[in-house]
Structure 1
Amino acid sequence: MSKNIVGITRQSPPLDTTAPFDTSSLQEKTIVITGGASGFGKGFAKRWANCGATVIIGDIDTTQGKAFVEELRKETANPSHQFIRCNVTDWQSQVDLFRTAAELSPHRRIDQVVANAGVQELGTKLDQPQNLDKDEPPKPQWTTVDVNLIGVLYTVHLAMFWLPKNPAPASDAQPDRHLLLIGSVASLIPFAGHIQYSIAKHGVLGLFRSLRATSWKDGIRVNLLMPYFMDTPMIHPGGKVFLAGIGMGKHEDVVEAASRFAADVSIRGRALVLGPRVKLDDDGHLLPPDSQEAEEISSFEVFGHDFEEVEAFTSRYVKILNAVEAARGYIGWAGDIVKAIFSPFTRG
């Protein structure tokens, strides 16, 4: 018998990505971004810093990171933006990033974390024979998996430690507890010739789908972005040959989608794929680019119906978590009643 546990996982409703959103909630928030010296991370940092947030960037590129933060400080007149050198594959390096970020934050807390650091395919190619004249292959180098998956797991583990230190958010003006994961279209499809990358991004998707079922108990909202091939300098000229005629997404669309997640504190447990801009009719069919019947969109929600039907184990596990949280509330209430009854009366 199928179970629907959408309500008890505290997911927000499916998104209308054409609706406007207000970025004022980002003011005075402290946001930690791994891999923030270039690419999407740099775009996020620039956008949110200009919305009044303090951004703290962790990146292995010291030269580019420091220069970018200096630029942000001048542009926003906010001296609190920081660059901290960080190798995401090194646990202690990430520990130092988060501890220092909390110390340097204007309000001594971290409101949001973006697990953005990533690389293209590096290391051993699993689909290519190597040194067949040898008795055994060399030890493989899992560089892409180390950065794009193990590094993300380190970031998430630290976010789950630091974010709950914030007071529970009751309104947009109060501290947030937001974790944004960056996957890829390779989280959803086989990525021919890039097996390590595909493994890592599939892992990020699995992390998101599992974590969002339970992160509510710590007041943490978890969301995911999965960009398609983007028209950026990161696309190698040879890659553009393969992508010719397919269409690529826009960097600014990814930044705006991330900004919606960051600014709207009601969004919990949602995932968006970002691709080329298209127009669709009411039934989801493609319209000509010059059509006046619909707005151009680039983001599409996926896994919007997770937890509507789950197996007995997941249903029972999440319900037990809810029961435990409810019990904690009752215990606290009962304790307050006992204190009120037995504490001595105070005199005016």
Structure 2
Amino acid sequence: MPTCHNSSIYKGKGEGPSLIDAAPIITLRAAGALIFGKTTTTEFASVSDGGPSTNPHDSTRTPGGSSSGSGAAVGDFQVPIGLGTQTGGSTIRPGSFNSIYALKPTWGAISREGLAQYSITCDTLGLYARSVEDFELLAKVFQLADDEPVPVAPFSIRGSKIAFCKTHVWPKAGPGTKVAWQKAQELLKSQGAIVEEIDLLADFEKIQQWHSNVLAGEGRTSFLGNYLLAKDKLHKNLWDHVENSTKLSRKEQLESYDGCARLRPVWDEIAGKYDAVFTPSVVDEAPVGIGNTGDASFCSMWTILQVPCLNIPGFASESGLPVGLTLVGPRYHDLHVLYAGKTIGGLFEAEGGFQSKLF
């Protein structure tokens, strides 16, 4: 299966730059997985240009990206499991747009050797499925493990402490996300959960800019080779990284690294006080048009904090399209996120209001 990263640099060159499987595929093959094929991504999983994949719930809309084809294929019942990556919001956003579960594990919990590199600090393998049970199977395959054992008994919503964290990006939230936000709190309270909204320290407001700085600095390194090899075939947005169009200084890059590193244990401590923490997955329903994969603003903070994120589907926008919410946890608490998400996801899917028209 040729590896071309959806780049014209490598199309038509036989096997492309990769003659061996990437590490996650080696693991899956060794576990007996059947590989159906490859799906559409944006160029080097690094730009927001969309197409040709469309949203299975409305073909005039984007399925999200950069893991566009994977999210659409799982959402359309073509395959039960799909792989993606996330550097900003490239796994969680398609999960929401296509009404499926999407897991961005803790950074480094699954090897990404052999995948195209954009940002070594942020790039994370992503997983798609239509149930948490499938993620539990994948967690065994990839040997995900928490420091603390996950209970055998099902997660109990009654009496659990559940936080809702809007983050500084909340002013961008559209009506679909606002409805999902309110509905989720009402459903959890009705089941006996102790629900509260929490605010983050002011320093967390800097993360979105720090994330942009890290991508600009690391993209400058990652795309240099292809820029020198075939600049005319490389997306112009990637030229900007190599040419440092934002004039990012190395001092600013280091400040961004250090700021995010300082806040990671702070977030771990905050999240550790709750049984579950929810945050928005997307600005709103999938936008009309397939030329752009949508806004990832609500996701980038959690990506550079390197924490596990699970998009939970079940809610509907005013036009009846899917909108999800993200359950986030401390680093290396992936299994706990799945544990809580399994029970809560069942509630959201049953009562959240989204009705699929695919079947």
TM-score (ref. length: structure 2): 0.24
**Which one has more relative contact order, counting CA pairs under 8 Å at least 6 apart?**
2
TM-score (ref. length: structure 1): 0.25
Larger Rg: 1
